[in-house]
A and B are shown apart, each in its own frame.
Chain A
Amino acid sequence: MAHILDERKGQVSVAGANVATIDCNKASLAGSVSQRACVFCGSRVVLYPIVDALHLIHGPIGCAAYTWDIRGSLSSGPELHRLSYCTDLQEKDVIFGGVKKLYEAITELIELHKPKAAFIYTTCIVGVIGDDVEQVCRTIEDEAKIPIIPVQAPGFQGSKKDGYKVACEAIFRLVGTKSKPETPAKSINILGDFNLAGELWILLDYYKRMGVHVNATITGDGRVDDIANAHNAALNVVQCSGSMNYLAKMMKDTYNIPSMRVSYFGIEDMSDALYDVARFFKDDEMMDKARELVKEEFAKLMPQLTWYKERLTGKKAAIYVGGAFKAISLVKALRLIGVETVIVGSQTGTEEDYDLIKKLCNEGTIILDDSNPVELSHFVKEKKADIFIGGVKERPIAHKIGLGFCDHNHERKEPLAGYEGMINFAKEIYATAMSPVWKFTK
């Protein structure tokens, strides 16, 4: 296994072959071309979809430029989140401190946009020069009477996963700050859906048809006032648990709101997400409506899905995504359309996630934590995969090897969640796996 760094051998496993648990949750080896990112990145992607808040980056320009309109988190109203605001720190600010510039920038922004709240992200360098960002935020909060929330996210303090935690802490500062008197008893918060390609709106429709009130969406198409009122919901429904488990835990500890982990990818997991909510409320009518909904959607979905399955059966897929929980849903969704998963990897999976993946996958499936292009391209060839599912950095590698590719990350353009998402997913997999272009690559 010359293609695997010695130090990384514990982070590679084979389903059925080795019993030992995978060695995950550790820092990347320096020099390894990791596909991972930093604390700032993690906090920024999670908070980004709060559409009526300002997001100001306190640091040099790069951190703001690279996170400007980065993910298709759609808004049904304001579009403030899609702009890029930065203090653009210069050498003189690094030497003399950037506090004055930060104060001016926030003040100018509030004057310009009269936002509901502001998130102020600190970057690596601010962590080192020691600007008292908390103090600046408190001062302006007193003056402007809106929440000014520091997001302490110097990149070096960990990986993307640590950034999720920082984001959760920032959101938690808003939770409980306002109460809407009319919040219905049977209401939920949706945590961990970011409304990529409008996926959240599909879920809102499903829950509405079941008679469930959605209180706050955190953070897809998110609103400051809804998040402030999030403590009045009866239940937190958590997707993408990697990013939002911590918020759910804090809300449980402080407001005693229970949470459940769901996934909206694939028809099994999607249906469970609806049934579990109905079960939680112990509401027969709600359950009946959920069953009706699933039945209706199945009737529309299955004939189309069968068409794809007949044609895709026997194809093999490799998955390398950010969160392991998503990988699990993908394995199941692929199986539905006849595609076998031969490689599963993630940037931020936990031991439990990987154990679950091992149980779920066929014997011989390669399981990877924090992988790199060399390893990925080696295993893809060895396992003769036809399709790669990953993010922006994996796409060109897959194409160079002559593999189909599906972006299941920030760059998805069609909703992949829910029942209609399953059809879109099947269509995307079919289009890329069966593309005639691959016949001309060798």
Chain B
Amino acid sequence: MLLRHTTAKEIDRKALTINPAKTCQPVGAMFAALGIHGCLPHSHGSQGCCSYHRSALSRHFREPIMAGTSSFSEGSSVFGGSANLVQAIDTMFTVYKPEVIAVHTTCLSETIGDDLTQIISKANDDGCVPEGKQVIYCNTPSYVGTHVTGYSNQVAAFVKFFSTATPKKRNVINLVAGWMEPSDMREIKRLAKVMEARTILFPDMTDVLDAPLDGHYKLYPTGGTTIEEMKLTGDSKFTIGLGQSCTEDACIKLENKCKVKFEVVDIPIGFKATDRFLMSLSRHANLPIPDSLSDERGRLIDLISDSSKYLYGKRVALWGDPDTLIPLTEFLVSMDMKPVYVVTGTPSKYFDARMAEILKDIPEAKFKSGELADMFLMHQWIKQEGVDLLIGNTYGKYIARDENVPLIRFGFPIADRPGHNYFAKTGYEGGANLVKQIMDGLLDHIDTNCLEEKVEFQL
């Protein structure tokens, strides 16, 4: 019993977070920056931050993660980190030769009040930034929001620094990617291609965080949205944001800066959210949804119908980020399952409102976002009344073991299984992949745990 300390009774906590369902802003900024081709993320803070974020991303994606750090010392914490950052910019352009450096702050540099605009302009004045190269930044204090906020801030910074409106509008739709796997992005690009829509996806982690092994280490893998594409987003005719908490800010910035209208839809997880995404793309790109995609949808529905007797009424506990939890919970409800407990450490009124709507016919369902919405609380709920399935990141494996409940790995971080970045969960095919995983989880559990006389060949 790894979590033997968990009590079924909810204890009164005012100040204490136990087993968080979130992490801090900078890792989100670092992750998002990897989705720009030739971009080197830079952590303006102590060495440990950068090391932790690189390790966390490395463990999850099993890919090399490059990022610089300002390596703060006692001196920089007193006199400011300006000298360190200017030197770091010089060093990075000399040695690592990125197209762009994306600086994000940390709790330390925010608290001592480093002014990044001023520091970066000093680096420019000192000639540390070569011709045609650029340094961009975003503020990501760890004591505000979560890793989701950091991702959102970094994506908004891409718009702020790159997107440019010229008189020449293009028949292109911008797709702003929320926090998802490269596999999910690959699937979204495929759907757009099948529709023959011209799109720019940003950020784009395909061929960055799922790069092929070919015997060469590429400091800057071949994937990622190029800076040229990023600039062109200002000339696109419409923007679709995928996931409110990660992309809405960027969409609003792009509208304000370049007059590109936008709509934010859910990340297309499950058939309803995929329907909405495709309809939005169809409407704004003025293109029909081809039969081949309707067939994909039909195959997903067929799979769900084949599985429905096992899915009915199954109680599920989920945790993760608002943008994925919302469509995932909706998907489970649409399959007649009962998502009874949903927790995210990211504070979000939007999440609360959407959850209340999605779960309105499941009166026993509980959900919570923000401070003290942690895995300890989730486990206490499960102890009060059990569930049949867990869906979330690797931090759920302790609960899965203690309560003997199958766990479907979903979200960030997944540190104990490979391949999640290869198999999409978005689109109809991603939906089918999810249904298969859910069925495997539920039925394997039955086969392993049921009485011997109940083991059956056919299920």
Contacts and interface: CB of A to CB of B under 8 A. Distances in A.
Interface of A: 3, 5, 27-41, 56, 59-66, 68, 79-80, 82-91, 93-94, 100-105, 108-109, 111-113, 123-125, 127-129, 154-160, 373-374, 377, 392-393, 395-397, 399-402, 441-442
B74 A156 contact: yes
12 contacts: A5-B94, A31-B95, A32-B68, A59-B107, A64-B17, A83-B5, A88-B20, A88-B371, A124-B77, A155-B45, A373-B217, A396-B61
B65 A124 contact: no
B4 A400 contact: no
A234 B88 CA distance: 49
Interface string B52-66: 111110110111111
Contacts of A61: 17, 20, 22-24, 142, 146, 345
B232 to A, nearest CB: 30
What secondary structure prevails in chain B residues at the interface with A? Answer: loop
B259 to A, nearest CB: 33
Interface of B: 2-5, 7, 11-20, 22-27, 42, 45-56, 58-59, 61-74, 76-77, 84-85, 87-92, 94-96, 106-108, 111-112, 141-144, 146, 211, 213-219, 345, 371, 395, 398
Given A104-B15, A124-B107, A29 B71 contact: yes
Given A5-B91, A30-B84, A112-B5, A66 B23 contact: yes
A30 B69 CA distance: 6
Contact of B144 (A83, A91, A100, A157): A91
Contacts of A103: 15
B349 to A, nearest CB: 16
Given A86-B17, A393-B65, A32 B91 contact: yes
A30 B22 contact: no
B89 A87 contact: no
A31 B108 contact: no
B48 A125 contact: no
Nearest to A381: B217
B66 A35 contact: no
A64 to B, nearest CB: 6
Query: 8 closest A-B pairs (Cβ-Cβ)?
Result: A38-B48, A62-B24, A31-B88, A31-B91, A155-B46, A104-B15, A60-B142, A65-B23
B47 A395 contact: no
Given A37-B51, A68-B395, A31 B87 contact: yes
B193 to A, nearest CB: 28
A437 B71 CA distance: 38
A400 B211 CA distance: 9
B141 to A, nearest CB: 7
Given A31-B95, A36-B51, 7 more contacts: A30-B88, A31-B87, A41-B51, A83-B18, A123-B107, A373-B64, A402-B215
Nearest to B142: A60
Contacts of B18: 83-85
A84 to B, nearest CB: 5
Contacts of A59: 107
Contacts of B50: 34
B451 to A, nearest CB: 31
A155 B143 contact: no
Nearest to B45: A124
B143 A89 contact: yes
A291 B351 CA distance: 67
Contacts of A154: 46, 77
A374 B88 contact: no
A30 B14 contact: no
Contacts of B62: 395-396, 399
Contact of A156 (B15, B19, B61, B108): B108
Contacts of B49: 38, 62, 155
Contacts of B76: 156
B88 to A, nearest CB: 3
A124 B46 contact: yes
A105 B15 CA distance: 5
B2, B74, B217: most-surrounded residue (chain A CB, <10 A): B217
B217 A82 contact: no
Nearest to B77: A156
A30, A155, A401: most-surrounded residue (chain B CB, <10 A): A30
A395 B61 CA distance: 12
A396 B64 contact: yes
A11 to B, nearest CB: 14
